[in-house]
Amino acid sequence: MAVDVKVPAVGESVQEAMIHKWHKATGEAVKRDDVLMELETDKATVEVTAETDGVLEILNKEGETVSIGQVVARIDATGTATKGAAVSKGAGATPPAPVKPTSSGSEPIMMPAARRLVEENQLDAAAVAATGKGGRLTKGDVLQHLETGASAAAKPAAPAAKGPPPAPAVKLPQPKAASGTRGERREPMSMLRRRVAERLIQAQSTAAILTTFNEVDMKAVMDLRKQYKDSFKDKYGIGLGFMSFFVRAAIEALKSFPAINGWIEGNEIVYHDYYDIGVAVSGDRGLVVPVVRDADKLNMAEIEQSIAYYAGKARDGKITVDDLNGGTFTISNGGTFGSLLSTPILNPPQSAILGMHKIEERPIALNGQVVIRPMMYLALSYDHRIVDGKEAVQFLVKIKEMVEDPTRLLLGV
């Protein structure tokens, strides 16, 4: 009896997926709960396991796009495993034999650039030594032929010029021709990358995006971390990072400017009385934005633990659709990759996103003195349809004030 392996439903809005990797091969014996393959959707990567013991028959290869509920393999519970099972990447397929170049007459096969040089210089192609693959005449062959003067006889003699003899021409070296093998390869876009591309275009075409900038002095936060980092880690088992400060500061600022925590639906503005903060984290397959839910009810340690948990899932490719759904505001830290300044793009349907950047020591004027301080540029991209410029600037200033004086986070002022 054969049991169908179907593409599972992985989210309400997900209609298709791509087979990212088969962990088993056709003809291979599998056990119940063995991981058969990884499916990549536009939001997450999902593992599909065997429902029974048996021998696997693969129907769809890696890289193919499949729909929810589609049968992609079968498990024969009564079958016998075969030796040397063919893997799913083109299993058993015989590659077509390469087509050998042919030519008519004695003229060699010419690459396009070589043919153009032959015609421009009125050369006899058969007289040029061809060194390309399969006897092809390359651009380098023609240039070498011209440089050695072998083409002099092929050019018509120029009429004698009247007047004073021309100045001797300066012979310039010929540009070096490309040599060796210059590779090129094509790979299908992952479902995640396709979805990211779609959402970026959606954000650019449906929202009136503006970005406002400011800078923040990180000295107070850095001093606070240095003073309490050991006792914080001993008590909570997690390091005290910068992100928790910015999450808390963003929540306080969102309370003062509720439109930034909302979005537009049709002709209505949806305001949220809760604070689900999306935090962009990087995984092997791209950037994902898991959501820290009810972040206003979490303390600093719980925020750090949540971010570390999602970052680990992203690295392991275990992020789920539920981890990514929702979110009322997003924070992205490009500074972890060395970015000094950037303009983040909205995460639809949200109306704003905060971009953090690299901390860099710079001279600033403070109380009439030039001092060196660890400074960070902040960027707030926002939808001008719902957020006025004045609100955006004041929102960013409020975050700056709270980060530069972290006691404000404790007092909520």
Per annotation, catalytic residue among 33, 294, 322, 384: 384
By the 10 Å C-beta count (0-12 exposed, 13-18 middle, 19+ buried), 91 is classed as middle
CB 191 within 8 A of CB 64: no
Q: Is 113 helix (H, G, I), strand (E, B) or coil?
A: helix
Token pair of 48 as six digits: 């599909």
Cα–Cα distance, 281 to 263 (Å, whole number): 23
- Decide if 388 is catalytic: yes
CA distances 110 to 99, 184, 235, 249, Å, are 16, 21, 74, 66
Burial class (CB in 10 A: 0-12, 13-18, 19+), 253: buried
384 tagged catalytic: yes
Tell me if 22 sits within 8 A of 88, measured CB to CB.
yes
Residue type, 250: A
Selecting among 4, 33, 273, 388, the annotated active-site residue is: 388
- Parallel, antiparallel, or unpaired for β 329-333 and 352-356? parallel
Could you count the other beta carbons within 10 Å of the beta carbon of residue 185? 4
Which residue numbers are catalytic? Answer: 384, 388
